[in-house]
Structure 1
Amino acid sequence: MKLKSWVPEKIYQQYLKPFDLNHLHRLGKRIYSQEGEDILIERYLGKKSKGFYIDIGAHHPFRFSNTYYFYRQGWSGINIEPNPELFGLLSKHRPHDINLNIGLSDKPQDLTYYYFEEAAYNTFSHEIAMQLIANKNILIRKEQIATTTLPLALKNLILPTNIDFLSIDTEGMDLNILMTNDWDSLRPQLILAELKVDSLRLALESKMNQYLEQSNYRLVSKLYNTILFKRLD
């Protein structure tokens, strides 16, 4: 049933039209991210035919992807994904990107990787894994995987001078990974990170925000489980 068919025209036009999927389809917007992160990024960066991104915890070539919308516009970038099955899908469906089958952490080390029935929940964090299991999410298996740091993962790659945005979603490891970055050499214009807090106040008080403020980034937007930072220099 179309939204427009069961509400008064005046109410539809004033309040509901922006959220009507039929209307959005006519606008030609296809959203691939979970919470509209891709459209939010475009609002900050503008419509660009070329750009570069880094996607840490890329997960899938298009399902829940913060970068696939831009890939379809002609952008390219780096996808980092420790799950070999998902890495295979990225390599198949995102051939113009650099796809790395690597796990990241705060130092080179072997960590236990937890595979869940819902692959978006896969994590290196024991704490997060135990919470997921307690919430009745099904653990399929776990295995030891060698991890490295973000600078070491990118060391042998030639990166463009301008990185438009970095997206990171690693189920509990985001801050540890970002703290290894060399901010003098890698300074994306925007950073998307996962943060599960229920208010903007808690986001501003978070360790993530405190850390990135020190690197001259400002928290400029919050979605349900995602926060967006903008570079100030």
Structure 2
Amino acid sequence: MRILRLLHLLGPHGKIKVRFGQWGEDVIVHRNFDKQKHGFYVDIGAHHPFAHSNTARLWLRGWTGVNVDANRKSVDVLRRVRKQDHTIWAAVVSDKIAAERDTIEFFSEDHTDLTGTVVQDMASERGKQKSVTVPCRSVASIIAESAELAPDGIDFMNIDIEGMDEEAIASLADWPHKPRMIAIETYAQTIPAVMETGTFRIMSDNGYDFRYQVGLTSIYMRKDFHEGR
């Protein structure tokens, strides 16, 4: 499957010509890691191996990493496709909640299939939400687990968890490892608005430069970031 997808994606000059990210964020990510053949990513709120994925291009190039999603069906698809990755079924919560409990009630109305098509559950067709008990984890614990799988460090981290993004990085100062690049949704409409957010303050206070705004996604780089290894 992987080879076939690569053949379809390769253009006349042997380079990938498509984008997977919702706003094209993956094009920026790919460009900054263009000289790095192998690397490690952490995708929180991974959703799908290809649809709206900011790590798909990296995976196609041979990178590996950790994927996290609260939707069990999304996790099943990720595990089927990205067999070399470590995929975690969990809802991301604050450090405080993660310290108090191991599971949380998660409400879901739909999921995506292997092609990225949204598939509604029967419950949602009747206007009802489906509640399931889901394991919960803090970002700090996921980073610690990921660091054990990445002896050379975490190169790229994507965070897309529907409004919980800023809370997810609140403990950034205490993370055992800080990724070289982080893409995170802020929902701010302008660059000045981004710079007024708590996300910007947290990232700046922890040694990151705000480099790009693509759609609703802000991309930060560690100040010692260098292209390639």
TM-score between the two structures when normalised by the length of structure 1: 0.75
Q: Secondary structure of 2:77's match? A: helix
8 Å contact from structure 1 (residues 114, 139) kept in 2 = no
Alpha-carbon distance, 1:39 to partner: 1.0
8 Å contact from structure 1 (residues 168, 194) kept in 2 = yes
- Partner deviation per Cα, 1:155-174 (whole Å, 9 max, x = no partner): 45513232111000000111
- Paired with 1:204 and 1:40, the residues of 2 have a C-alpha distance of 20
- Paired with 1:184 and 1:227, the residues of 2 have a C-alpha distance of 20
Call closer, same or farther: CA 1:94–1:212 in 2, change over 3 Å. same
8 Å contact from structure 2 (residues 173, 206) kept in 1 = no
Partner of residue 79, structure 2:
91
Aligned ranges for residues 1-233 of structure 1 at < 5 Å?
Answer: 28-107=16-95, 108=98, 109=101, 110-117=103-110, 140-156=129-145, 158=148, 159-181=150-172, 183=174, 185-233=176-224
**In percent, how many aligned pairs have the same letter?**
25
Q: Which amino acid aligns with 2:130?
A: R
Q: Secondary structure of 2:195's match? A: helix
Alpha-carbon distance, 1:188 to partner: 0.9
Call closer, same or farther: CA 1:96–1:62 in 2, change over 3 Å. same
8 Å contact from structure 2 (residues 144, 176) kept in 1 = no
Gaps of 5+ in 1: 1-23, 121-137
- Of the two structures, which has the highest relative contact order with CA contacts closer than 8 Å and spacing of 6 or more? 2
- Paired with 1:43 and 1:188, the residues of 2 have a C-alpha distance of 17
Gaps of 5+ in 2: 1-9, 117-126, 225-229
Call closer, same or farther: CA 1:202–1:118 in 2, change over 3 Å. farther
8 Å contact from structure 1 (residues 117, 139) kept in 2 = no
Q: Which amino acid aligns with 1:115?
A: S
8 Å contact from structure 1 (residues 149, 180) kept in 2 = no
Q: Secondary structure of 2:21's match? A: coil
- Paired with 2:144 and 2:78, the residues of 1 have a C-alpha distance of 21
Alpha-carbon distance, 1:177 to partner: 1.4
Q: Work out the number of aligned pairs and report it.
A: 194
Q: Secondary structure of 1:96's match? A: coil
Call closer, same or farther: CA 1:184–1:115 in 2, change over 3 Å. closer
Partner of residue 134, structure 1:
none
- Paired with 1:94 and 1:104, the residues of 2 have a C-alpha distance of 21
- Paired with 2:111 and 2:128, the residues of 1 have a C-alpha distance of 9
Q: Which amino acid aligns with 2:59?
A: Y
